[in-house]
Amino acid sequence: MRRALLGLLVLAQLGGCATVRTLDASKPGAPLVYAGTRLDWYVMNGGCCPLDRFGAEAPAYPRLDLPGSLLLDTLLLPLSVLTALGVSFNATGGL
């Protein structure tokens, strides 16, 4: 029962997760490394206009989103560092 609730919580959080939102942002000059965590932190400290700075809207509850964004940003750290360094990679899926 706990696993099901945790799974539902994770799925519900992904739609509003700052990390997921910043992955699609593609705004020139926007932070790439720990972008979701930085977006949450920026909004929690009273930063205005997250759309202009990060290219993504902030989640409605950044304090609740922060732990999940921190975890996901950490998991995606190798890819975000490579992207920040300008290393491109073409990933395709399916058959």
User: Could you state, in chain order, the average pLDDT of each consecutive group of 10 residues for the chain (95 residues)?
Assistant: 69 68 78 90 91 87 88 90 80 66
For position 9, what pLDDT does the model report? Answer: 60
For position 11, what pLDDT does the model report? Answer: 58
For position 95, what pLDDT does the model report? Answer: 63
Q: Where are the alpha helices (DSSP H) in the chain?
A: 2-14, 18-23, 35-44, 50-54, 62-75, 77-84
Which residues lie below 8 Å from residue 84, measured CB to CB, with a gap of 6+? 32, 33
The sign of the torsion formed by the CA atoms of 42, 48, 52, 58 equals positive
For position 91, what pLDDT does the model report? Answer: 65
- What are 9's two structure tokens? 């919580």
What angle (nearest 5°) sits at the alpha carbon of residue 61, between those of residues 57 and 66? 90
For position 3, what pLDDT does the model report? Answer: 81
The answer to whether 68 touches 16, Cβ cutoff 8 Å, is no
